[in-house]
Amino acid sequence: MHENIFVESLPDLISAEEYADHPDGRLIRLRIDCDDDGVRILGDALRPAELEALLRELGGGPTEQMLCG
Amino acid sequence: MTVIPLPLWQPALLGTALPDGRVRCELCPHECVLAPGESGRCAVRRNDGGVLRTAAGSPAVAHLDAIERKPFYHAWPGRKVLTVAGPGCSFRCNYCLNYRLSQFGRDPAVPWTGSAAEPAAIVARADRERAAIGLSYSEPSLAVELTLELADRAAPHDLPILWKSNGFLTAAGADLVAPVLAAVNIDVKAATDAAHRRLTGAPLGPVLDTVRRLRAAGVWVEISTPLIPGISDRESDLRAIAGRLAEIDQTMPWHLLRFTPEYRMLRQDPTAPESLRRAREIGREAGLRFVYVERALGPEGRNTRCPGCDRELIARGLWETLSVTLAGGACPHCRASIPGRW
Ligand code: SF4
């Protein structure tokens, strides 16, 4: 089963000014970094479930997520 | 081989043994009556051979974050909070962003991820960081035993204890924690009992009772309301919620939260910024003095203005306080009192 890990913080890739331009929430933004350790994908989405599905499809290690509240 | 951790069940408070081996749990208004071996609706309290036990004293996380993220805007601005959370919740909200933690036991896909708390280590870490101690992310009221133990250890270090809670407590539950809670942010998620029940599986009345009860006991209370399109964002609903809060206290801060489609509510759209703006107006029209929107309206949604002279008193960035211009908890310009814990 795909593993999800709770982390203290992750950077935002979507700003609040963009919300009004995407009323249906169909915005996903990705930043892909490669180094000697491998590939790290940072994602931000107005619909987190779609981002998570995408990351699961891509495979690899666990998905880190922040908690709300 | 994968080792799946199991919950550690510790003795729980507020259980009344019944003559036939059953136990009644009196922590939340579900008031489950449990046969031996049976777990309550929260799935983290159970009858273990006639004794009520809890698994909620086993945090899955201990994260250091900003007090503004809980959110608290009128309590110790700029302070960090060491937030611990065990699995479990007394509600079953279908939009919960933290469902992987909160819906343990209700959703078979959610694994157990807690491990026994080490209160001394939690307090020591909070003291090093001069952070408040928070229970949040899942439902902290299920962890009353851990809350009391942390409070006992934190008292000599003068570290406040905070909750971000659904407020679904019996009077006995609220009275148990009121003496040790410094502040709580309580969700008021709907305008009526019926709507609240549809959204959470529980009625609204006890939540408002908890707001009143904790405030009367001297706990600092802020309120959060998610605006779920088509469910809790209608003007009539927001007017009703704002009216009820204003009846309690017009100076109680009200946080309007943007809904994000998640978990089992994937069809709805996210809350439009315009709805949040309109909701803020509704709150102000109802007489609420401090109505906040964390992100969608930019800094003007987050900053505190004096209700007397309208000058800006507290400027906030995203999840941080940038400046505080208060003199002894009052506006330095017109001397209007700004309620909170400063
Ligand atoms: S906390 Fe509430 S849901 Fe859980 S066992 Fe007690 S009464 Fe039932």
Q: Do B270 and A25 touch (CB under 8 A)?
A: yes
Whether the Cβ atoms of residue B188 and residue B242 lie closer than 8 Å to each other: no
The closest CB to that of A67, out of B101, B262, B297, belongs to: B101
Tokens at B173, concatenated? 């539950």
Q: Is B169 in the pocket of ligand 1 (CB under 6 A)?
A: no
Task: State pTM to two decimals.
Answer: 0.96
- DSSP state letter for B304: E
A20/B274 CB distance under 8 A: yes
Contacts of B101 in chain A (CB under 8 A): 6, 67
Predicted ipTM? 0.92
Chain A residues within 8 A (CB-CB) of chain B?
4, 6-9, 12, 16-17, 19-20, 23-25, 46-49, 65, 67-69
Q: Is the CB of B53 under 6 A from ligand 1?
A: no
The Cα-based distances of B213 to B160, B170, B216, B219 in angstroms read 19, 10, 5, 9
pLDDT score recorded for residue A60: 84
Query: At B299, is the secondary structure helix, strand, or coil?
Result: helix
pLDDT in the model for residue B299 = 95
Q: Compute, in angstroms, the gap from residue B254 CA to the centroid of ligand 1.
A: 28
By percentage, how much of chain B surpasses pLDDT 90?
92
Does any ligand 1 atom lie closer than 6 A to the CB of residue B25? Answer: yes
Burial state string for B73-112 with b = 16 or more CB within 10 A and e = fewer than 16: bbbbbebbbbbbbbbbbbbbbbbbbbbbbbbbbbeeebeb
* Per-residue pLDDT reduced to its tens digit, B221-242: 999 999 999 888 999 999 999 9
Token digits of residue B103: 């819906």
Of the partner residues B70, B98, B273, the one whose CB lies closest to the CB of residue A20: B273
Q: How confident is the model at residue B258, as a pLDDT?
A: 96
- What distance lies between CA A12 and its chain's CA centroid? 9
Instruction: For chain A, give the mean pLDDT.
Output: 93
B208 compared with A59, residue with greater pLDDT: B208
Give residue B11's pLDDT.
96
> Per-residue pLDDT averaged across A6-17, rounded?
95
Is any atom of ligand 1 closer than 6 Å to the C-beta of B27?
yes
> Which chain A residue's Cα is nearest to B137?
A69
| pLDDT value for B7 | 86
3-state SS assignment for residue B84: strand
Regions in chain B scoring below 50 on pLDDT: none
Q: Mean of the pLDDT values across residues A4-11?
A: 94
**What's the pLDDT score for residue B2?**
56
The verdict on B260 touching A (C-beta cutoff 8 Å) is yes
Residue B342, classed as helix, strand or coil, is coil
Provide the Cα torsion B156, B159, B160, B162; round to 10°.
-120
Reported confidence tier of residue A37, pLDDT bands at 50, 70, 90:
confident
> Treating both helix axes as pointing N-terminal to C-terminal, what angle do B205-216 and B235-248 enclose, rounded to 10 degrees?
30
Residue-wise DSSP of A10-61:
---SS-GGGGGG-TT---EEEEEEEETTEEEEEEEESSHHHHHHHHHHH-SS
